[in-house]
Chains A and B, each alone.
Chain A
Amino acid sequence: MAEAVDLKVVGTSPVRPDGVDKVTGRAAFGADLNLPGMLYGKVLRSPHAHARIKSVDVSRALAADGVLAAVSGADFPSDRLDDLARNVIARDKALYNGHAVAAVAAKTQQQAEAALELIDVDYEVLDPVLTLDEAMAAGATLVNESQHTNGDTSKPPSNIAVQQAFERGDVDKGFAEADVIVESEHRVPTAHQGYIEPHACTATMNAGGKATIWCCTQGHFDVRSLTAGVLGKSVGNIKVIPSEIGGGFGGKTIIYLEPLAVKLSELSGRPVKMMMTREEVFRATGPASATWCKVKVGAKKDGTFTAATAWLAYEAGAFPGAPIGPGCMSVLAPYDVPNLRIEGNDVLVTKPRVCAYRAPGAPQSMHAMECAIDELARKLDMDPIDIRLKNAADEGTQAPYGPTFPPIGLKKCLEAAKNHPNYLKPLAEGAGRGLAVGFWFNIGMQSSAEVRIAEDGMVTVMEGNPDIGGSRASMALMAAETLGVPYEQVKAHVGDTESTGFCNVTGGSRTTFATGMAVVQACEDIIAQCRQRAALTWDLDAEQVDWVDGEAVPKPGVNADVKPLSLANIARRAGRTGGPLLGRASLNAQGAGASFSVNWTDARVDTETGKTDILAFTAVQDAGRAIHPAYVEGQMQGGAVQGLGWALNEEYIYDERGALENPGFLDYRVPVASDMPMIDTQIVEVPNPSHPYGVRGVGETPIVAPLAALSNAVRDQLGFRINDLPLSPPRVLAALDEQG
């Protein structure tokens, strides 16, 4: 692995390759494609949270002005019916308010909307299941009558889809050894990713049955396979072109509209564009789980943890799949705890199916544990950093979920925090300061990349991960570094499913790590070819040629009176040395490196109104290596503000029949610019030995710690703890009143 001092391009923050188009309005996002003869598709959504669908009749809609196609669940294959297909369009039951029931395509948006009102649906309304308590109670209404916990049909059906647990050591013994024990339970509400771009796609199917989909997604190869599954088609008959993507945060890793648009196009013979409204985004697309976490942690007088337990219940929405796995695995990941027991429950409720949201599952469980550890530090009169340093996981520590950590940066982050001027700075009068640790695994998975050298030496990097936050710049930086050419000589592109090799989704903080690794390997392939071409030109063996600073040179000691050959030199003569230069790599990346963070915030509650102002926020995080430091800081800052939003005011509010009462940015209150201070950042670099430049992945960890950091800050000011989130003014004021 290259040392930082040797790096020329990696670690700088140049302007991104797609930047000019994005500041001038030319970049084309999901809703920006208009095709000749295009129709507009709209979805009819269930007004009930739970209802049996007795019949759907689209005939009146089909006869309406301008309408060319209308579909319901019956128009889709039913042989391989999985949860995703049922979520795309309901069949026998509508499982949440907003569940798609039918769709139409018409010449104008107004005609399509009007036609929705002509679709006749006969519902038998059933009782909604809206909370974890309700869903898990004995005799609860069942969301899915044929679901048994962990598939165990010897037990009665249950809303608990999956129950998992793992244990280490002897928990009872551990707590018996503790001098101090803290036990608490915490609830975190449903939060939405809140990407500013609503889901949108344009699909067109030709007479030969070949579909082309243009859409905003975090993974167009997944759109291809998932859409193929829902439609019962081969992936070979679907081409997906990823548009620019206006935010995803995990929420654009699955599909909603694409199969509907393809079907409507097939039936109408026209291109069909579908765009969700903001209300549809909130009512029907995957938010993060609402959770209920019970935690307990014990320590000796010196702060050493002796035992910890966590019991987690996560709302899955209408179908199984709450992120209890990562919730359980992350809850104690930062610490070396000898005795522990962790249990997770994946619970169905009649609400939208949850989807990944930035470090899925971790913010909620770690909020609970980081609050408990804060209380433990208070009881022991220890600094919150010291108690964490005392127990921090380090290289060689066995993670609670099994593996032994390679080099990790938690201790360095804690030490950096302890010496940070913002931590040493005295607190403003009447304010509170709270600190917490964050963690995310990061993932590898499959990636491909191609590197093409044009005749003038310009480098084109082709890869298949939609660029959400500047990854084209990171790819270009790593390619330039590896090839030894200036950044400006490299352009990175995101190809469609037919112009680039397979890449898994942009998610899990894997793109710069895994696809970056593929890009580096593809560049190494180019270098090998260049050495070969130079050798041919010079009548040497490839083994006698080196690649230094972007040029082929004879190795030291090789007797050859030749001038170095640059990439441009070699490319210009490529026709005479074997044809165009094309490098490629595909891999299933192993060795993703966990990224830890330490966040603290200064906050002040107006005790007469319960409103909390964020006065300062600092994020310290181990990035492994920051390829493009400005975008790493941007990830840290953006994640911090999303976490603070979740902690402050964001929550889904349902009425008693399961209708979402705040499906818009007016009452789903994401932070606005005036709510926030500058977010100070410090990047720590403990390189990941598995990546050629030491990358860990940085995108997800930043959202984890802010929730508990704010809870702990409010606790610090008020002198008592409010366990649940959000810390909205009514909740805080009620708690203050209760305290007297």
Chain B
Amino acid sequence: MAGYAYLAPTNVDEALGALEEAASVGQRAQMLAGGTDVLVQIRSVDKGPRTFVDVKHVEEANALSMTDDELFIGAAIASAVLNENARLKSILPGLVESADLIGSTQIQGRATIGGNLCNSSPAGDTIPALIACGAVCVIASPNGNREVATEDFVTGVGTNVLEPTEFLVGFKIPRPKGKTSDAYLRFIPRTEMDIAVCGAGVALTLDDDGTCTKAKVAIGAVAVTALPVPEAAAALVGTKVDDDALHAAAAASTAAAKPIDDKRGTVEFRKQVVGVLTRRAAAIARDRALAR
């Protein structure tokens, strides 16, 4: 069966069945979420025939739940829907703003966090934010679900750990406790509509006197994949996230970045600005945590 086809399964089993069916006849299958990357790609870089398996109607991939310990965000939920969820926004402001930064209002209505991660671009905005807040990817497999930490999901430019018969169902995220919050900032030349030139996500926890007890920092668009920067996190932990600590974290991000020169920015620019963003995002996360 050469050519294009479209399937719209309504649950995980049907979706897995569709992927297996395609694999068994040698047809390429591609999961379709918002389609905001896929539709551009099939008209330019990757025109080959395939079966689209639309994840938007898969019930489990549309689930959004919050318990005391954990949140689950379905991979197929559009960014606009997440952004309209005031409760989610108050719990994970950084993650929601990373999703909200992707593209226009029009893109927001379709694009998903799951699609952003599976597209596996070095510049995907949600990826540093997902890493910072400790998100774990829930992957549906023929042998049941498996889980992969977000920082281990993307393996290269446009590649990831998914097998052809697997797909991403959603994310488990530990529910922030106490004075914990997150922030994500990216740099783009305009105010909207650009791909990140670099980005930084920060999640941190403060104790009652404002000392940072836990932090996670991840940076984007400055390497083949989004990078966790433990050195930057270490620079924050044990401090009041004051100017010295912020500058140390910035320097750590700058040092960790391994960017390239391209049409969106230079090596020097990206290294320098990713530090600035780390500092600014950490300050925002700190202020949000203090306000908890």
Report whether chain A binds chain B: yes
| Residues of A participating in the B interface, judged by any CB pair closer than 8 Å | 279, 608-611, 648-649, 653, 661-662, 665-667, 669, 671-672, 674-675, 728-730, 733-734, 737
Given A661-B263, A730-B269: A674 touches B191 (CB 8 Å cut-off): yes
- What is the CA–CA distance of A422 and B264 in the complex, to the nearest angstrom? 34
19 contacts between A and B (CB under 8 A): A608-B273, A611-B187, A649-B190, A661-B262, A665-B193, A666-B193, A666-B194, A666-B195, A669-B193, A672-B192, A674-B191, A675-B190, A675-B192, A729-B187, A729-B273, A733-B269, A733-B272, A734-B268, A734-B269
Q: Is B109 an interface residue (CB 8 A)?
A: no
Residues of A within 8 A of B197 (CB): 729
Q: Which residues of A contact B44 (CB under 8 A)?
A: 279
Known: A666-B195, A730-B269, A733-B273. A611 touches B263 (CB 8 A): no
Cβ–Cβ contact A669 & B273, under 8 A? no
Highest count of chain B CB atoms <10 Å: which of A653, A733, A734: A733
- For A610, the chain B residues whose CB sits under 8 A away are 269, 273
A611–B276 Cα distance when bound, in Å, is 13
12 extra A-B contacts, CB within 8 A, seeds A653-B263, A730-B266: A667-B264, A669-B193, A672-B191, A672-B193, A675-B190, A675-B191, A728-B189, A729-B197, A729-B269, A730-B265, A733-B272, A733-B273
Residues of B within 8 Å of A669, CB to CB, are 189-190, 193-194
Contacts of B269 in A (CB 8 A): 610, 729-730, 733-734
Identity of the chain A residue whose Cβ is nearest the Cβ of B275 in the assembled complex: A608
* Residues on A with beta carbons closer than 8 Å to the beta carbon of B273: 608-610, 729, 733
Per-residue CB proximity of B273-292 to A under 8 Å, as 1/0? 10010000000000000000
Decide if A672 touches B265 in the complex (CB within 8 Å).
no
**Chain B nearest CB: distance from A118 CB in Å?**
14
Interface residue from B187, B262, B268 paired with A609 (Cβ < 8 Å):
B187
Chain B residue with minimal CB distance to A676?
B191
Give the distance in Å from the alpha carbon of A346 to the alpha carbon of B273 in the complex.
Answer: 39
Q: In whole angstroms, how far apart are the Cα atoms of A279 and B192 in the complex?
A: 21
A367 to B193, CA, bound (A): 28
Q: Which residues of A contact B265 (CB under 8 A)?
A: 729-730
Q: Contacts of B195 on A, CB cut-off 8 Å?
A: 666-667
User: Closest chain B residue to A663 by CB distance?
Assistant: B44
- When distances are taken between beta carbons in the complex, the residues of chain B under 8 Å from A648 are 189
**Known contacts A667-B264, A734-B266: A674-B192 contact under CB 8 Å:** yes
Residues of chain A within 8 A of B264, CB atoms compared: 667
Contact B191 A608 (CB under 8 A): no
B189 touches A729 (CB 8 A): yes
Contact call B263/A609, Cβ cutoff below 8 A: no
User: What's the nearest-Cβ distance from chain A to residue B130, in Å?
Assistant: 23
A560–B192 Cα distance when bound, in Å, is 71
Task: Give Cα A730 to B269, complex, Å.
Answer: 6
Interface-centre pick from A662, A730, A734 (highest chain B CB count, 10 A): A730
The interface bits of chain B over 31-52 (1 if a CB of A lies within 8 angstroms of the residue's CB, else 0) are 0000000000000100000000
CA distance A728 to B269 in the complex (A): 11
CB neighbours of A728 from chain B (8 A): 189
Residue ID in chain A nearest B191 by CB atoms: A674
**Residues 171 to 217 of chain B near chain A (Cβ within 8 Å):** 187, 189-195, 197
- For the complex, give the distance between the alpha carbons of A653 and B191 in Å: 20
Q: Roughly how many angstroms separate A733 CA and B265 CA in the complex, as a whole number?
A: 11
Residues of A within 8 A of B263 (CB): 653, 661-662, 667
Who on chain B is nearest to A655 by CB?
Answer: B263
Main secondary structure of the interface of B (DSSP, over half): loop
Q: B100-155: which have CB < 8 Å to A?
A: none
In whole angstroms, how far apart are the Cα atoms of A608 and B194 in the complex? Answer: 19
Q: Closest Cβ of chain B: how far from A606's Cβ, in Å?
A: 9
Report the 6 A-B pairs with minimum CB-CB distance, sorted nearest first: A674-B191, A730-B269, A653-B263, A608-B276, A661-B263, A649-B189
Bound together, the chains give a CA A654 to CA B19 distance in angstroms of 40
Q: In whole angstroms, how far apart are the Cα atoms of A508 and B212 in the complex?
A: 64
Smallest Cβ distance from B36 to chain A, in angstroms?
A: 12
Residues of B within 8 A of A733 (CB): 268-269, 272-273
Tell me the bound Cα distance from A501 to B189 in angstroms.
47
| Nearest CB of A to B201, in Å | 17
Chain B residue, CB-CB nearest to A113: B47
B44, B195, B268, B273, most chain A CB atoms within 10 A = B273
**Bound form: Cα–Cα A661–B195 in Å:** 14
Of all chain B residues, which has the CB nearest A649?
Answer: B189
CA distance A239 to B154 in the complex (A): 57
Residues of A within 8 A of B187 (CB): 609, 611, 729
B273 to chain A, nearest CB (A): 5
Residue of A nearest to B103 (CB): A666
CA distance A734 to B265 in the complex (A): 11
Closest Cβ of chain B to A357, distance in Å, is 21
Residue of B nearest to A667 (CB): B263
A653 to B264, CA, bound (A): 10
Binary A-proximity of B9-27 (CB < 8 A = 1, otherwise 0) = 0000000000000000000
Residue pair A672, B276 in contact (C-beta under 8 Å) = no
* Nearest opposing residue in chain A for B266, CB measure: A730
- A671 x B190 contact (CB < 8 A): yes
Task: Name B279's closest neighbour in chain A (CB-CB).
Answer: A608
A674 and B190 CA atoms in complex are apart in Å by 8
> CA–CA, A279 to B43, complex, Å?
11
Closest to B270 in A: A730
CB distance from A109 to the nearest CB of B (A): 11
Residues of chain B with a CB closer than 8 A to A608's CB: 273, 276
- Complex Cα distance, B262 from A611, in Å, reads 18
Question: Taking the nearest CB of chain B, how far is it from the CB of A643, in angstroms?
Answer: 16
Separation of A737 and B269 alpha carbons in the complex (Å): 10
Decide: A609 near B266, CB < 8 A? Known: A649-B190, A669-B189, A672-B191: no
Per the bound structure, the CA–CA distance linking A728 and B268 in Å amounts to 14
Who on chain A is nearest to B265 by CB? Answer: A730
Report the minimum CB–CB distance from B152 to chain A (whole Å).
29
Given known A730-B265, A730-B266, A733-B272, contact A611–B189 (CB-CB < 8 A): yes
How close is A115's CB to chain B, nearest CB, in angstroms?
Answer: 14
Residues 241-283 of B at the A interface (beta carbon under 8 Å): 262-266, 268-269, 272-273, 276
Bound-complex Cα distance A60 to B282 (A): 60
CB distance from B247 to the nearest CB of A (A): 12
In the bound assembly, the distance between CA atoms of A198 and B249 in angstroms comes to 47
- Least CB separation from A608: chain B residue: B276
- Give Cα distance in the complex from A665 to B194, angstroms: 9
Give CA–CA (A653, B263) in the complex, Å. 7
Shortest CB distance A733–B (Å)? 6
Q: Which partner residue on chain A sits nearest B276 by CB separation?
A: A608
Identify the closest chain A residue to B267 (Cβ). A730
With both beta carbons as reference points, the residue of chain B lying nearest to A651 in the complex is identified as B263
CB distance from A145 to the nearest CB of B (A): 32
When C-beta atoms are compared, the residue in chain A nearest to B250 turns out to be: A608
Distance between Cα atoms of A389 and B191 in the complex (Å): 37
Question: In the assembly, what is the distance between CA of A645 and CA of B258, in Å?
Answer: 30
Given A608-B276, A666-B195, A733-B272, answer yes or no on A672-B266 (Cβ-Cβ < 8 Å): no
A672 adjacent to B189 (CB under 8 Å): no
In the complex, what distance in Å separates the CA atom of A608 from the CA atom of B250? 12
Tell me which residues across on chain B come within 8 A of A675, comparing CB atoms.
190-192
Query: With a CB–CB cut-off of 8 A, which chain B residues contact A649?
Result: 189-190
User: How long is the Cα–Cα vector from A674 to B265 in the complex, in angstroms?
Assistant: 21
Q: In the complex, what residues of A have CB within 8 A of residue B191's CB? A: 672, 674-675
A28 to B13, CA, bound (A): 47
Proximity string of chain B (61-99) to chain A, C-beta cutoff 8 Å, 1 when within and 0 when not? 000000000000000000000000000000000000000
Rounded to whole Å, the gap between the CB of B196 and the closest CB of chain A is 12
Chain A residues with CB under 8 A of B268: 730, 733-734, 737
Taking CB as reference atom, which chain A residue is nearest B280?
A: A608
Q: CA separation between A634 and B274, bound complex, in Å?
A: 39
Which chain B residues lie closer than 8 Å to A653 at the CB level? 263
Q: Which residues of B contact A611 (CB under 8 A)?
A: 187, 189
Q: Shortest CB–CB separation between residue A641 and chain B, in angstroms?
A: 12
Task: List A contacts of B193 (CB < 8 A).
Answer: 665-666, 669, 672
Q: How far is the CB of B20 from chain A (nearest CB, A)?
A: 28
